[in-house]
Amino acid sequence: MDIRKYESIIKNVTLFFGTEGSGLDLAVKNMDGTIKSYSKGEFLHMAGKALRKFGLVLSGTVQVLSDDINGERTIMASVSPGETFGESLCFLKKKNSPVYIYTSEGAVVLWLSAEKIKSTEYYDRFTAMIAERALAMNNRIQILSKITLREKLITYFTQLAHQNKSNTFNVPLNREDMATYVGTNRSALSRELSNMKKEGLIDFYKASFKILK
């Protein structure tokens, strides 16, 4: 397990912030940490099963998804390097997970035991991390609570601009996934993005976006 290869990412996560070198090695070991690589299109976890460990994304992107009774997919979260997923499910020891976890482009994940953390000095940081995840879910609720697609997109782009501290940012989703994330279809999304660009509200090229007004 090559922790040092990803040390620059791991040490800046809330859970490990300020921990470096041998101290980081020991902390990850005490949490029963394991690194695993996943290929494009591979599932990390299936719905209906217990999630034994939570994940920290080291490279690539991981998506947390759920399906409604009609089989319609909802992206609950898109997780980038330096971000975590599955903390609450592990902490609450849910036997039947309502979500499945997937990587559309391949990813490297550090899996950690929530149960092991309880006996370490990092427990308070872990609960703080769960609180951060709750705030992230609140961001998603803000998007979906908007009535029009344009309002949803403006809210989403504003959140990304705030996170990146810049009006220029990369959207961590392809167009199909972005459409699912804001609750629409790809054709409607493309049409609205084009309209917003023509009206001078935004500019974009592939994944790079800029808020103009």
Domain-ending residue, one of 106, 136, 166: 136
> Based on the structure, what is the number of domains in the chain?
2
Range 73-97 average pLDDT: 88
* pLDDT (0 to 100) of residue 206: 93
Q: Residue 212 and residue 203: Cα distance in Å, rounded? A: 7
Radius of gyration of the chain from its Cα atoms, rounded to whole angstroms: 18
Range 183-203 average pLDDT: 96
* pLDDT (0 to 100) of residue 1: 60
Q: Has residue 156 been placed in a domain?
A: yes
Q: Has residue 95 been placed in a domain?
A: yes
Strand, helix or coil at 24? helix
Q: Has residue 142 been placed in a domain?
A: no
Residues 86 and 158 in one domain: no
pLDDT (tens digit, 9 = 90+) per residue, 98-118?
A: 899 999 889 999 999 999 998
What does the buried/exposed string (b/e) look like for 91-121 if buried means 16 or more CB atoms within 10 Å of the residue's CB?
Answer: beeeeebebbbbbbeebbbbbbbbeebeeee
Residues 37 and 125 in one domain: yes
> What secondary structure does DSSP assign to 54-82, as a single string?
EEEEEEE-EEEEEE-TT--EEEEEEE-TT
Q: Has residue 144 been placed in a domain?
A: no
Task: Grade residue 119 by pLDDT with cuts at 50, 70 and 90.
Answer: confident
Task: Grade residue 70 by pLDDT with cuts at 50, 70 and 90.
Answer: confident
Domain-ending residue, one of 136, 160, 195: 136
Residues 157 and 122 in one domain: no
Task: Grade residue 143 by pLDDT with cuts at 50, 70 and 90.
Answer: very high
Range of the domain at 85: 4-136
Compute the Cα dihedral for 34, 94, 101, 47 and give only its sign: positive
Residues 153 and 69 in one domain: no
Strand, helix or coil at 140? helix
Residues 106 and 156 in one domain: no
Higher pLDDT: 152 or 69? It is 152
Residues 53 and 155 in one domain: no
Residue 136 has pLDDT above 80, yes or no: no
Nearest alpha-carbon partner for 118 in 150, 78, 90, 76: 90
Ordered alpha helix ranges (H), the chain: 7-10, 21-30, 87-92, 114-117, 123-144, 149-164, 175-181, 186-198
Residues 23 and 110 in one domain: yes
Q: Has residue 122 been placed in a domain?
A: yes
CATH of the domain at 124: 2.60.120.10
Strands ordered across the beta sheet of 54-60: 34-38, 107-112, 54-60, 84-85
Residues 72 and 11 in one domain: yes
Mean pLDDT of the chain: 91
Residues 84 and 167 in one domain: no
Residue 166 has pLDDT above 90, yes or no: yes
SS3 labels along 142-155: HHHCCCCHHHHHHH
Domain-ending residue, one of 92, 110, 136: 136
* pLDDT (0 to 100) of residue 60: 94
pTM equals 0.79
Residues 75 and 177 in one domain: no
15-19, 91-95, 147-151: lowest mean pLDDT where? 91-95
pLDDT (tens digit, 9 = 90+) per residue, 11-68?
A: 999 999 989 999 999 999 999 999 999 999 999 999 989 999 999 999 999 999 988 7
